[in-house]
Structure 1
Amino acid sequence: MGETTQHFVLLLLCLSGLVHSSAAFVFWTAVVDISYYNNITNDTEENFCECGVYGQNARVETTSGIVVLPRDDPKGCHPDTVYNWTSSPWIALVKRGSCNFSEKIIAAVEQGASGVVVYNADGTGNSTSHMSHPEAAGVVAIMIGNIQGMEIVKLVNNGTDVYMTIDVGSPHGPWITSYWLYFLSLAFFIVTTASIAYFVFISANRLYNLRMHKRSERKLRSEAKKAIGRLQVRNLKRDDEITNSEAHMCAVCIEAYKVGDVVTVLTCDHIFHKACIEPWLLERRTCPMCKCDILKALGVEEESKDSITTTLPQDATVITVAGGDSLFEVPLTEPVRSDPERQQHRYDNRAFEGDTEGRE
């Protein structure tokens, strides 16, 4: 696993608050890369190692510049400490001791340093510790070992220009191990993959159901067209009772029948304007009055109709219509009833009563 992945996982965990209680124990190492021109060999020497440690309050990012030492005090504690450098960027190299880390860092930054490197006290070898500098937060500041720091100081004091690059290393802490990072990374990718797979499955399932629904609707629409073609169609004449009273009207458009109107007689013997009922039947395939299934009544097979789930209201919605001297209710929606006889009596088409009596 690459370092970039480890950094990403750690950052994700920190942002999510999962390691909030352990954040104080996490520290970042720094890769220190120095290069200088060797006057003896006439070659450019370059040395780098992951031997620095970012301060607890430091800005963990990359910086670079010429290494500069404080003029009088190698520990750089005095606020008026002078650094013998006017160009930029440059990195201050100071020794540990005499004052706290914040004072050293502030004194160097006020002089224009882009970063501060503190090398450990004498007798500590190349060991380092975790600097705490809350008063100088947000500065690229690291600590390196005493031996390495003294070698750089010796080069600078001999008049050698030492160029240093500080780069971000890797996270460390008592709770961070390679196996733990592997586990977290694996868990992260498994959860992400599962989420994507679930999303793809749900999307594909919805798309499939939508496609099947449209296919079923097209088939039912085609069957409805065939059924409509088999229904009785006739023109209303002057002797038709339903043309002689405004009380008789089409339940779809709520308009009275007139002589010359073209009407369609459904299998349930209810009458409607042909121009009104055909679009209705193409969409709903049932009688607006009694909910009689026109396709089933005509013996048309509807294999795909069972796959379409329709939620019907519990109560019928009706409107009161005034026609002549009478008031009667016209249903807008009507639930399916288990008793066909009750349906017929409740939604009796008055416009058709006279017509049936004439035929009898």
Structure 2
Amino acid sequence: MISVWALACLWIQLAGFHFWADAQAVVCRVKVLSDLEGEIVGRVGSDGTSREGCAWHIYPGLSLRAIEFHLLEPAHFEGSDRLIVYGSGNMHPATRVATFHRGNPIPPGMMMTGTSEAMLVLNGQNNESFIRLGYSCRPIGTRIGDMWFSPVGYACVLAAFIVVGFAISLMPVYLVCYCKARRAQDLVMQESQLMMRSELASRFRQNEAVRAQERQVVASLEALPIQKWKDEEGRRRSTNECCLCLEAYGDEDMLRVLPCGHYFHQACIDKWFFANRFIPRSCPLCKRDPVLMILSRADAPAGQDEEAVPAERPSSSGDGAPRSLAGDADFVIGRPQEAWVA
């Protein structure tokens, strides 16, 4: 029974000590300083706790060449109070740089190199301890406006400015060259259009000339004489068929007589000539051009006609005397068809 009471009293004493220890604990929040310049003020409270500040993390987020510290007011340490400086953001013993206390006061000025951040911790128990420091960070690189750039970043920015400036300086030259090229292109297009129009006009005139010539040729061929066939007894039967349709001439068949003396069905020879439109016509038998023969005979002087033999038409009069297929007119040039000779 006594032992139980003793254990209860001991538990009460331990709980009270724990409560007192929690009441004496220091709740300290790390203050992050991201500015390149600033002020650090730390003071220990009257109850032995650091209320105004106890830890400061200098971290501007840039590569720093150095961090400089200078005293704004003489620091004062009482008892075992001290200021610990770390060379990183972690409070690790390996990163501890310096410790200042009553026996090792803070110098008026100091510099920290080889790091881009620092941690300052004020560990105090006496309400007389006080520090007030100013710090200044020296970034590695170049400042442009309100921004700091590393050497590589500065080189990139400088190269970008050079490229942009070069592009802007070349813009007038580009505009002048573009305008000249556009003008030359417009002139070439205009010349091409003029040449195209001239070519089309020339082709149109040529086509019109060809069509006019074709109309003249057709008119000359249509003007060739037409006669009716009348069979005559005693003539060779080989001369009584058309070499185009291979059909024998019948009574009252209309024949067209060419200037070379050969004759064919009117429909057959007209189809033959129509099938050879826009090219020189020729007789199916002797391959001579009837139009050229007409023109040469028309241009020949009087008394100098080509050798002409009057062609006999394959019909006879009642007295049996052969006569020309064209009547009394002599229009056959050259030797007549062999079948015409009696």
TM-score where L is the length of structure 2:
0.35
Asked which structure has the greater CA Rg, the reply is: 2
